[in-house]
Amino acid sequence: MKAARPFDLAGKRAVLATMHGKEEVIGPVLEAGLGLSIEVPRPFDTDRFGTFSREVERKGSQLDAARAKLAAGLEASPEASVGIASEGSFGPHPNIPLLAVGKEIVVLHDLDTKLEIVGCHIDLSPNYDHMVVEDIPSALSFAKRVGFPAQGVVVIGIAGGVPIPSRYLTKRIDNEEHLVDSVGEALKACGAAHLETDMRAHRNPTRMLSIKRAAEDLLNRYRRRCPACSRPGLAVGRRVFGLPCAWCGEPTLALKAEIETCAGCGLSLEHPAPSSTAEPGECPQCNP
Ligand SMILES: [Zn+2]
Ligand SMILES: [Zn+2]
């Protein structure tokens, strides 16, 4: 039998900090890929780290929130030595108007070695949508458009044109009858209702798939091991530009090399760009 390499996770007990069924997609990927045995603490509340429906604001960055969940998971399961958590964020695309973008991260932390690996997936077509309605038929057409009831819909009250969960909030809507009742209640209380896609993983099948992709990315990153110390997670930390121009030899804006660095031993591996010269079109001298 092959001796275990440093940072191997096979046979370790891991805790996945989720209350929204993420074990369905993260579990199989990381159990098969890393040999972990993954459990979910029950009961476990992750809403205190922030909710998409605005009752609890997320503190800090997406990674901060994932790490906080992960630490709480390890606290709830003292027999586990590996923590796993995921966090999503959704919003308008920073550069492309009207396009929504979702970012999922899955974080793994090994208490024994302090190894942390973060997997990521960017989704350019998340099921992330909202609409303000003033009648039931508009609410039903929104629900149909986003794929309700397989995709969840959240109804939030409105004040001053802004969704205010303290005015009205219902997340547990499983069927059309319940949706009609909820929208009716919100309209009665606020005159209008803010409807949005439920972004909780177990009520958003598109998101569940993105979380799986982020777990697969985590696995791929883990498998990039440092050739010197065997630590997983070797990653491109720096890109060097200035590939010489094929005509004049002056440095251009084109990529010259990627530098992978090891967070453990500091090893730095340089990968030169496939071509040793840049197109004159990329040269500020030849093509000003
Ligand atoms: Zn040139
Ligand atoms: Zn190393």
Q: What angle do CA 179, 185, 191 make, to 5 degrees?
A: 115
Give the distance (Å) from ligand 2 centre to CA of residue 79.
29
Domain edges within the chain: 13-126+202-223, 130-197, 235-282
Ligand nearest to the CA of 268: 2
Confidence at residue 52, expressed as pLDDT on a 0 to 100 scale? 87
Give the distance (Å) from ligand 1 centre to CA of residue 58.
49
Confidence at residue 173, expressed as pLDDT on a 0 to 100 scale? 93
Give the distance (Å) from ligand 1 centre to CA of residue 259.
25
Give the distance (Å) from ligand 2 centre to CA of residue 165.
49
Ligand nearest to the CA of 264: 2
Ligand nearest to the CA of 281: 1
Confidence at residue 270, expressed as pLDDT on a 0 to 100 scale? 95
Ligand nearest to the CA of 278: 1
Q: pTM for the whole thing?
A: 0.89
What lies within 8 Å, CB to CB, of 113 at 6+ separation is 6, 7
Confidence at residue 2, expressed as pLDDT on a 0 to 100 scale? 58
| Region for 121 from its dihedrals, namely left if φ exceeds 0, alpha if ψ lies in -120 to 50, beta otherwise | beta
CATH code of domain 13-126+202-223:
3.90.950.10
Give the distance (Å) from ligand 1 centre to CA of residue 242.
11
Ligand nearest to the CA of 244: 1
Confidence at residue 98, expressed as pLDDT on a 0 to 100 scale? 81
Ligand nearest to the CA of 284: 1
Confidence at residue 93, expressed as pLDDT on a 0 to 100 scale? 85
Give the distance (Å) from ligand 2 centre to CA of residue 271.
16
Give the distance (Å) from ligand 1 centre to CA of residue 239.
21
Confidence at residue 202, expressed as pLDDT on a 0 to 100 scale? 94
The full length of the chain comes to 288
Torsion of CA 53, 54, 59, 65, to 10 degrees: 0
> Across-strand partners of 260?
236, 269
Write the DSSP symbol of residue 142.
H
Strands 255-261, 235-241: parallel, antiparallel or unpaired by DSSP? antiparallel
Give the distance (Å) from ligand 2 centre to CA of residue 14.
24
- The reply to whether 130-197 shares the fold of 13-126+202-223 is no
Give the distance (Å) from ligand 1 centre to CA of residue 249.
6
Confidence at residue 220, expressed as pLDDT on a 0 to 100 scale? 97
Confidence at residue 3, expressed as pLDDT on a 0 to 100 scale? 63
- Cβ-based neighbour number of residue 203 at 10 Å: 24
Ligand nearest to the CA of 287: 1
What distance in Å separates the CA atoms of residue 101 and residue 175, rounded to the nearest whole number?
27
CATH among 3.10.129.10, 3.30.1490.20, 3.40.228.10, 3.10.20.30 for 130-197: 3.30.1490.20
From residue 57, alpha-carbon distances to 53, 65, 90, 167 in Å are 9, 11, 14, 16
Q: In a structure prediction context, what are the per-residue pLDDT tens digits for the chain, which is 288 residues long? A: 556 788 999 999 999 999 889 999 999 999 999 999 999 998 888 888 888 888 888 888 999 999 999 999 999 999 999 999 999 999 888 888 888 999 999 999 999 999 999 999 999 999 999 999 999 999 999 999 999 999 999 999 999 889 999 999 999 898 999 999 999 999 999 999 999 999 999 999 999 999 999 999 999 999 999 999 999 999 998 999 999 999 999 999 999 999 999 989 999 999 999 999 999 999 999 987
